Structure 1
Amino acid sequence: MSDFSSDEIQRLQTCLRRLLGAKGLSVNPPPRRGLSVELAVDGEVIGTVHRDEDEGEVSYILNIVVLEEDLPPKA
């Protein structure tokens, strides 16, 4: 896994806020090198972001966790 630069994290955050329409979304750097970058909404961590580089092309993989207890009640 490649480490993220602070500029890359900021650019990714701007892009995801626009794409997902979530102004409260933040992409947080890991506390230590080599750990995953965290994706949060209004301060609550909802997943991770991983960077993939293949033949010079970079892409980002979002892993979002939704707990059943956070879903609305069944109708």
Structure 2
Amino acid sequence: MSTISPSEITRLQICLRRLLGSQGLTVNAPPRAGLSVELAVNGEVIGTIHRDDDEGEVSYNLNIVLLEEDLPPAKA
């Protein structure tokens, strides 16, 4: 995994807002080196984004964490 540049962060945010249909999504640079770029919805961090550069081909891996306590109640 390699570092995500400020330009890539902006481009990722534009792409994810379009793909997921939410202007409330933000892609946030890590507060310090070595930490992951974060994906947030309305200020709440829901996941991380990692950059992979394999033989010159760049891809981004998005890991979204959903806590069971945040799911709606199960129907009986």
Cα drift, residue 53 of structure 1: 0.5
Cα drift, residue 67 of structure 1: 0.4
Q: Report what 1:10 is aligned to.
A: 10
Q: Report what 2:65 is aligned to.
A: 65
- Number of matched pairs: 75
Tell me how far apart the structure 1 counterparts of residues 52 and 29 of structure 2 sit (CA, whole Å): 16
Alignment of 1:1-75 (within 5 A): 1-75=1-75
Can you list the C-alpha shifts for 1:18-50, whole angstroms capped at 9, x where unaligned?
A: 001111000000011121000000000001000
TM-score (norm 2): 0.94
TM-score (norm 1): 0.95
Amino acid at match of 1:52: D
CA RMSD across the alignment: 0.7
Unaligned runs of 5+ in 1: none
